[in-house]
Amino acid sequence: MKKLFTASIIATTLTFTGCASIFSGSTQTLTFKSVPDTANISITNKAGEKIHTGSTPATVTLKRGNGFFQPAGYEVTFTKDGYQPKKIQVTANVNGWYIANIIFGGLIGLLIIDPATGAMYTLSPKDVNAVLDSTQSQTAQNKSKQSLTVMLVKDVPVDIMNRAKYITTL
């Protein structure tokens, strides 16, 4: 009898919870950094409302969802005197723990709890970094010099990436 009671408690717990709500929560903490430091940041949501203003480096907790089955989305604007402003999008994708509701039988978590709390989403990128470009005009002499730019592969334009050659190592 005691085993049956324990099994029913576990089954009820799994049925009335959401995996993403338990493991991830409805909010996510993101870090914001810039080069140069102490740039001003302004975070706005999809509705255009300012959620946060401050300066880098900063750590901000943002909501993952924007309503029932509605992912949150944010635009982060970096500004600093003498530098061009830069905008970066923070988007929400489906959280892996949300899919775990299918495996562990959390039907209520799958259809109600995780979508209502926004826990079914993960914000990305987790670390928002911006390199601000100087607004000072370059001289003709500096423009003619060759330079090296280091970028993430995801930031390289598609037409340039198509012409790129991979370097193999031994």
pLDDT band at 1 (very low <50, low <70, confident <90, very high): low
Question: How much is the pLDDT for 24?
Answer: 63
Q: How many CB atoms lie within 10 A of CB 40?
A: 15
pLDDT band at 114 (very low <50, low <70, confident <90, very high): low
Task: Please write the tens of the pLDDT for every residue from 23-50.
Answer: 667 889 999 999 998 999 999 999 999 9
Identity of the amino acid at 55:
S
Question: How much is the pLDDT for 144?
Answer: 60
Say which range, 8-22, 58-72, 96-110, 153-167, has the weakest mean pLDDT. Answer: 8-22
The runs of H, that is alpha helices, within 35-167 are 96-104, 107-108, 114-117, 140-144, 158-163
Q: Tokens for 123?
A: 């914000």
Question: How much is the pLDDT for 97?
Answer: 64
Confidence (pTM): 0.65
Residue written as tokens 């302004």? 42
User: Which is more confidently placed, 48 or 169?
Assistant: 48
Task: Please write the tens of the pLDDT for every residue from 99-113.
Answer: 766 666 566 665 666
Nearest to 63, CA basis, from 46, 42, 41 = 46
| Cβ-contact 114, 71 below 8 angstroms | no
- Calpha distance 67→47 (Å, rounded): 12
Taking residues 144-153, report their average pLDDT: 73
Q: 3-state DSSP call for residue 111? A: helix
User: Which is more confidently placed, 143 or 83?
Assistant: 83
Domains along the chain with CATH numbers? 2-133 (2.60.40.10)
